[in-house]
Amino acid sequence: MSKPISNAAFKRMILQESAEKQQEIISRQLRILPRMIMDEVARMPQLPTSPKVIKDLESKLKLVQSMWTDILVARHV
């Protein structure tokens, strides 16, 4: 398995995009990440899933939620 992208690099990658593209990426991640976490947790009894994978996905989700909150606050100021 390849090494996952760090949260800082992931955030930089998103922030390089236009405002519309940022919202699109973040909203997509908000839909995809919870599903990926559920899939990994469901795999645990069958295959040895590393807790690091789930922890990384959860931290990405927390980051994306924070970024989405920042966008919403900026819109209403």
Residue 3 lies in a domain: no
* Distant-in-sequence, close-in-space partners of 73: CB < 8 Å, separation ≥ 6: none
Indicate the number of domains in the chain. Answer: 1
Q: Which of 18, 19, 16, 15 is nearest to 63 (CA)?
A: 15
pLDDT tens for 7-41 read 999 999 999 999 999 999 999 999 999 999 999 88
* Distant-in-sequence, close-in-space partners of 4: CB < 8 Å, separation ≥ 6: 53, 56
Is residue 26 within 8 A of residue 71, CB to CB? The reply is yes
Which domain does 68 fall in, by range? Answer: 19-75
Residue 70 lies in a domain: yes
Helix (H, G, I), strand (E, B) or coil at 65: helix
Q: What percent of the chain has pLDDT over 90?
A: 70
The pTM assigned to this predicted structure is 0.86
Lowest-confidence region among 17-21, 51-55, 68-72: 51-55
Residue count of the chain, please give it. 77
pLDDT of residue 46: 72
* More confident: 57 or 50: 57
Residue 10 lies in a domain: no
